[in-house]
Structure 1
């Protein structure tokens, strides 16, 4: 099996598309970098070059006047096209996922949170930030002060692909862990006597799960914090990635620690409250629950 993408300067879309294909096909895939029409025509899979978008033919370019778009009209880049075609298969193979709904849910989340932004930046719809992954990939290209041959650029491309592959694997693992956390969040919600508060027996990522499970009354989560035996009280945000809380912790706690926080809260083992009022820490489960009770009763 051979896949072809363009030679020369590379960007995040062709780099991450390559990494996805390598994850899917393992060592059975040979990557060619060329703009030679004969090389392109001979390849089994062609992406980000070639002037054709036809997934049935395994052609995934997006540079034509009649470029491919998502259902909402936003443009694809090569990585979005590859993910749409192979994403669930890659998750099934790499992560060992089998339930169809679980596969599709995770694939859709990865698409919206990671793949789509690369598509939009590559098509000039949005601009990257200074620390965006597209900027990181661009830095792998030899710059103008570095003498480089075609072989040097190709070598830099494959170093960027290795970087992309490792990042994708961590994204997959994080999303799987986040998805499986829903079970624990759901069970905690069923146990609680007060829908404004749930207690988790261990620290799991709960922010997305809370919103997917539509726990609209939930204000705070109590769970273990760190590896020192501490317990935390965390405010639930209005949206998964928002810094705005449904209900802030009391203003009098903001930025206090140890004796000062203990005096204000009345909790003997309170140790810290974040100045942004989304987190407070106590040394014990009982202390965290006491903090929660106080926060819930506060105006």
Structure 2
């Protein structure tokens, strides 16, 4: 009987990942087997596919585990519907997108959801098809950020950080996972982290003998988590405080030049993301052409036509080169 029960459970053992690489020990007697099985079935579980893993589901798992309800969840890796069906939430597998049942796959032929269609907010116009990371972020992202940034009290600030993290990290993951070309004319997204390739390298090679796929997936989750945590915390600690500095500088632009087409930053701060949002929300006209800022010495920079573009609104005279 012991062998029969063990044969039933072994496929589940292989598909289960515990955070911090905590793997289940082999049971030594029948009572341990029964206890082990009943414990597994009563735990909160996050289901995703086994086999070759990708950045999107590894990042999605990390994000979910920042929420109280999934903090201690077991990650079950399988493509067997009988194993996935009882999972509390399933991501990147299963052939269903149904938020009411916590099913978040994006591989269906008719799946066309984007951040714009899910969030339904005018200030979230992104039209790249979502991966499982994007789905989890769009549905849970604001709560995740609140858990990770208890010092950020205002919902408006959480939303500003939400947009920055999506635009800087999640969009890259979504686009690469869905095979979206980076360029038509202007870039559709930026590759900031190359996280997808770094995760892909963690998959066991075809001839590896000493690498366990679930252990490697755990490393991928940790890697994605480190990157996500950096973007979240730096956004709150470094990037967001610069917003008010940029706003005040824009309000003083007519003191710099009567045209209002030049603004000045008294110090070098991360300004570009804030500039394009504030220029729109402040209805700035005519468009600003140059920024002057202090970085050891004073420097002048042309304003690009859009964030990430190398095309400037008005180039400096060639004679200045």
Aligned to 1:238: 305
Say if 1:243 and 1:126 are closer, same or farther in 2 by CA, change over 3 A: closer
1:29 aligns with 2:73: yes
The answer to whether the 8 Å contact 1:207/1:237 transfers is no
Partner of 1:118: 173
The answer to whether 1:223 aligns with 2:283 is no
TM-score (norm 1): 0.72
Offset of residue 86 of structure 1:
0.7
Residues 28 and 169 (structure 1 numbering): CA distance in 2 closer, same or farther, change over 3 Å? same
**Range that drifts further, 83-92 or 15-24:** 15-24
* Residue 205 (structure 1) aligned with residue 205 (structure 2): no
Aligned to 1:134: 196
For these two proteins, the number of residue pairs brought into alignment is 248
Q: Decide which of 117, 120, 131 is 1:77's aligned counterpart.
A: 131
Q: Is the 8 A contact 2:97 2:105 kept in 1?
A: yes
* Cα distance in 2 for residues equivalent to 1:248 and 1:173: 35
1:223 counterpart SS class: strand
Asked which structure has the greater RCO (Cα within 8 Å, sep 6+), the reply is 2
Deviation at 1:112, TM superposition (A): 4.0
* 1:31 Cα offset (Å): 1.8
1:10/1:157 contact within 8 Å kept: yes
Question: Cα offset for 1:183?
Answer: 0.9
Residue of structure 2 in register with 1:64 after alignment: 108
Equivalent residue for 2:57, pick from 11, 14, 21: 14
Pick closer, same or farther for the CA change 1:167–1:186 going to 2, 3 Å: same
1:3: Cα distance to partner? 1.1
For the aligned residue pairs, the C-alpha RMSD in angstroms reads: 2.7
Tell me which of 209, 212, 215 is aligned to 1:147. 209
Query: SS of 2:85's equivalent?
Result: helix
| Structure 1 segment 102-113 matched on structure 2, within 5 A | 102-113=157-168
Alignment match of 1:47 (pick from 91, 94, 97): 91
Aligned equivalent of 2:261: 196
- SS across alignment from 2:84: helix
1:205 Cα deviation from its structure 2 partner: 0.9
Could you list the runs of 5+ residues in structure 2 that have no partner in the other structure? 1-43, 118-125, 183-189
The DSSP-based 3-state class of the residue aligned with 2:292 is strand
SS in 1 for 2:67: helix
- Cα drift, residue 208 of structure 1: 1.9
Partners of 2:64 and 2:71 within 8 A in 1: no
Report the TM-score, using the length of structure 2 for normalisation.
0.68
C-alpha displacement at 1:88, in angstroms? 0.7
